[in-house]
Amino acid sequence: MMADPRIAGLDMPFDGKRMIHGGFATIVDERGGGTTGYVDGCLTPVAIDARAAYTDFAALSARLFVEHGAVRVVECWGDDVPPGRHTDYARAVDLQPGEAACYSWIEWPSKDARDAGWQAIMADPRMAGRDLPFDGRRMLYGGFTPIFDQAMRAGG
C-alpha cells in the first residue's frame, strides 16, 4: 500500500510505515440493537485445521455478548493478510506455520456498557470451562473509542 503513488505523496498524520493492513472474510456477524459508542478489537492466531471449532466457539460467544449488551460482534478469518516491511499481522501474534490470523470486534453502546457486559460475560456459566480453540497467550486485544464512523455519516 505504501508503494502506491497516490499514498506516497500524502502528508499522513501517523507513521504509515508501521500501519498493519489486510483483508479478512467474515465468519460470524451477530447483531443486537443500538448504536456503537465503544469497540473492543481482537487479533487471534488460530490453527487452520481448527477453523470449524473456532467458528462454533465464536458464534456462541457472539450470541452471549449480544445477550449481555453488545450492539454487534464480528469475527473474521484472514483472507488477504500480506507480510509487511516493518510489521504485520503475522508478527503481531507470532503466527506459526499452519495458522491463520483472525480479526474480530465487539461494538458496545458505551464504555460503561462494555465494562458491565464483560463482567456479565465472565460470570456467565455458559462461558465457564470452555476449551479455547486458539492460543490465547498470543491474542491481542484492546478497547477503542470511535473517532469516525462512515455508516453514521452516511445515515446508516
- Is 10 contained in some domain? no
Residue ranges making up the domain that contains 146: 22-153
pTM given for the model = 0.82
Digitized pLDDT (tens) for each residue of the chain, 156 residues in all: 556 666 666 666 666 666 666 667 777 888 888 888 999 999 999 999 999 999 999 999 999 999 999 999 999 999 888 888 888 889 999 999 999 999 999 999 999 999 999 999 999 999 888 889 999 999 999 999 988 766 655 555
The C-alpha angle with vertex 22 and arms to 16 and 26, in degrees rounded to 5, equals 145
- Is 15 contained in some domain? no
- Is 6 contained in some domain? no
Q: Which residues are CB-contacts of 51 (< 8 A; sequence separation ≥ 6)?
A: 27, 77, 100
